[in-house]
Structure 1
Amino acid sequence: MAIPASDIQFAGSIPALYDEYLVPMIFEPYAAELAARVAALAPSRVLETAAGTGVVTRAMARALPAGAELIATDLNQPMLDRAAATGTPRPVHWQQADAMQLPFEDASFDVVVCQFGAMFFPDRAAAYAQARRVLRPGGVFLFDVWDRIEDNEFADVATQALAELFPSDPPRFLVRVPHGYHDRQVIERDLANAGFAANPGFETVAARSRAASAHAAAFAYCEGTPLRNEIEARSGSFAEATAVCEAAIARRFGTGPVDSKIQAHIVTARR
């Protein structure tokens, strides 16, 4: 199924809001996990695809030795601009690039890493084939994807709340894209079609998602992701949509600081 253009548009105010609200709420725990796994491989040259606003990039910049070269790419230049403006504790090369058409030579990286980006690739097997092409023999492709939405509670509650606000045409971005690519057999098939060997590593990792308030959690999803584009397309008010999600999250998790389950799969494929 083709991915609508609005599902991969991270522009306007989204990069800043994404970085400020969503990154600490759901991405940072897995960023530290991926960075530790990359560092354990002792690579000399690392490529990151779909780097977004750089949460994994920053974690790898801290975890990798000074001599390791780190190149971080993303399709959306505004996301990279935000990442570069935030900065890293060591030099990183930021480069706009399409994961399905990587502008790098064959066999030029020890590790290719991608956090929560595979769900956005229009042709995942093609993107994986590109990752394999640029890996050196024995190199590792390491990525993670979100598990089903029912195991990611804030996202699930927000989606159900928006379905009540827009009953005739409920926004389904969170189900369709971030939480729409979790089936192990599908992922293994796509990797096999890209030329990776059978039986990649596949580990399900649960973590906790924390926000300062129900409002912060609701705001992160409604205005810091392409869900915002769906709300706008329905002539909806961001304030109203956020308020509806906030109320639903507060009913489930309380009115103070909130805490919920998140869950993802970490996949390791070797060239």
Structure 2
Amino acid sequence: MAVSDTVFAGSIPDVYDEYLVPLIFEHYAQDMAQRVLAGGPAQILETAAGSGVVTRLLADGMPEDAHLLTTDLNQPMLDRNAARLPARPGLRFQQADALALPCDNASFDVVCCQFGVMFFPDRVKGYREALRVLKPGGTFVFNAWDAIAENLFAQAVTEKVSALFPEDPPVFMARTPHGYHDAAAIAADVRSAGFERCQLKTVAAESTASSARAVAVAFCQGTPLRNELEARDGMSLAEITDAVEAELITRFGIGVVRAPMQAHVVVAQKA
């Protein structure tokens, strides 16, 4: 994983929230929120919360006396998240590394992480932290993208930018968001961390956008792929985005565009 893969700064959080969240995250966020809230938890921890698509659903759906601690490694993403929600009792935001949580042992009923584990430099360590802060019988819910070949918008963008820079292809999407996709390996990591029960389900869905332009902006300007693109010589970010849009129109058409996407949903329980 490149150093720039975990940098969500500048205008990335705003573009991410406006374009990428409705494109690929909302469907899985609804699924996650339902799983987290199913047991009526009193204490919830969200790690790698990003701009807050899951946070908003949890805040709206959790019991009035419940508490939600929302964390992210990147303060700009956490700021965007907090700005989208009115202050309310029981809702806190704190910058934190999911591999070194500033939380007491056995303090949460549920820990959840929406598409964040792919960014962990040591996934087993991150899972052990979730296990540590969970109460006995507590639940860890997370998801991870399947292979990029099962996520056609991400694949198309990656193939186009790689063709634009063949000597040094920008492959952030394949390397990190879609780089941790082996279901058996994920389940093995969860068990290695100490969780005795682990259920993994692969969930297919459809990604929809108002236009190819929206998809191009989402990936090229609203993810750390932008950091790679801006580091390349010869083309501006605007020119690259235009080229990706043209490629997406060729593949998916004009107007509303749709493509398959797929992810693994994991539910692990502490003994």
TM norm. shorter chain > 0.5: yes
Cα deviations across residues 220-258 of structure 1 (Å, max 9, x unaligned)? 000000000111111241112111211111111111111
Partner of 2:36: 38
Question: 1:61–1:89: 8 Å Cα contact kept in structure 2?
Answer: no
Instruction: Write the mapping of 1:254-269 to structure 2, written as runs, cut at 5 A.
Output: 254-269=253-268
Matched residue type, 1:48: E
* Equivalent residue for 1:11, pick from 9, 16, 20: 9
Partner of 1:122: 121
Q: Distance in 2 between matches of 1:163 and 1:146?
A: 20
Q: TM-score w.r.t. structure 2 length?
A: 0.96
Question: 2:191–2:198: 8 Å Cα contact kept in structure 1?
Answer: no
Using the TM superposition, give the Cα deviation of residue 189 of structure 1 relative to its aligned residue in structure 2, in angstroms.
2.0
Q: Distance in 2 between matches of 1:151 and 1:74?
A: 27
Q: Distance in 2 between matches of 1:268 and 1:158?
A: 30
Partner of 2:239: 240
Partner of 1:162: 161
Question: 1:58–1:88: 8 Å Cα contact kept in structure 2?
Answer: no
Matched residue type, 1:228: R
Q: Distance in 1 between matches of 2:263 and 2:64?
A: 30
**Structure 2, unpaired ranges of 5+:** none
Partner of 1:172: 171
Partner of 2:185: 186
Using the TM superposition, give the Cα deviation of residue 90 of structure 1 relative to its aligned residue in structure 2, in angstroms.
4.7
Using the TM superposition, give the Cα deviation of residue 89 of structure 1 relative to its aligned residue in structure 2, in angstroms.
8.2
With over 3 angstroms needed to count, the CA separation of the structure-2 counterparts of 1:90 and 1:254, relative to structure 1, is: farther
Cα deviations across residues 135-176 of structure 1 (Å, max 9, x unaligned)? 000000000000111111110011111111111111110000
Question: 1:62–1:89: 8 Å Cα contact kept in structure 2?
Answer: no
Cα deviations across residues 178-231 of structure 1 (Å, max 9, x unaligned)? 00111012112211221111x510011111111111011011000000000111
* Equivalent residue for 1:81, pick from 79, 82, 100: 79
Q: Helix, strand or coil for the counterpart of 1:200?
A: strand
Q: Distance in 1 between matches of 2:64 and 2:179?
A: 37
Greater alpha carbon shift after TM alignment, 187-196 vs 114-123: 187-196
Partner of 1:152: 151
* Equivalent residue for 1:57, pick from 55, 80, 83: 55
Partner of 1:250: 249
Matched residue type, 1:245: V
Question: 1:125–1:190: 8 Å Cα contact kept in structure 2?
Answer: yes
Cα deviations across residues 57-114 of structure 1 (Å, max 9, x unaligned)? 0011122111211110000000000011111585420110000000000000000000
Using the TM superposition, give the Cα deviation of residue 262 of structure 1 relative to its aligned residue in structure 2, in angstroms.
1.0
Matched residue type, 2:47: T
Q: Distance in 1 between matches of 2:222 and 2:242?
A: 15
Q: Distance in 2 between matches of 1:42 and 1:177?
A: 33
Any runs of at least 4 consecutive aligned residues in structure 1 with deviations exceeding 3 A, and if so which? 88-91
The percent identity for this pair of structures is 56
Partner of 1:217: 215
Q: Distance in 2 between matches of 1:243 and 1:8?
A: 25
Matched residue type, 2:145: W
Residue 203 of structure 2 corresponds to residue 205 of structure 1: yes
Q: Distance in 2 between matches of 1:103 and 1:56?
A: 21
Q: Helix, strand or coil for the counterpart of 1:140?
A: strand
Q: Distance in 2 between matches of 1:167 and 1:44?
A: 51
Number of residues of Structure 1 aligned to a counterpart in Structure 2 = 268
Q: Helix, strand or coil for the counterpart of 1:11?
A: coil
Q: Distance in 2 between matches of 1:86 and 1:181?
A: 30
Greater alpha carbon shift after TM alignment, 50-59 vs 182-191: 182-191
Q: Distance in 2 between matches of 1:185 and 1:5?
A: 27
Q: TM-score w.r.t. structure 1 length?
A: 0.96
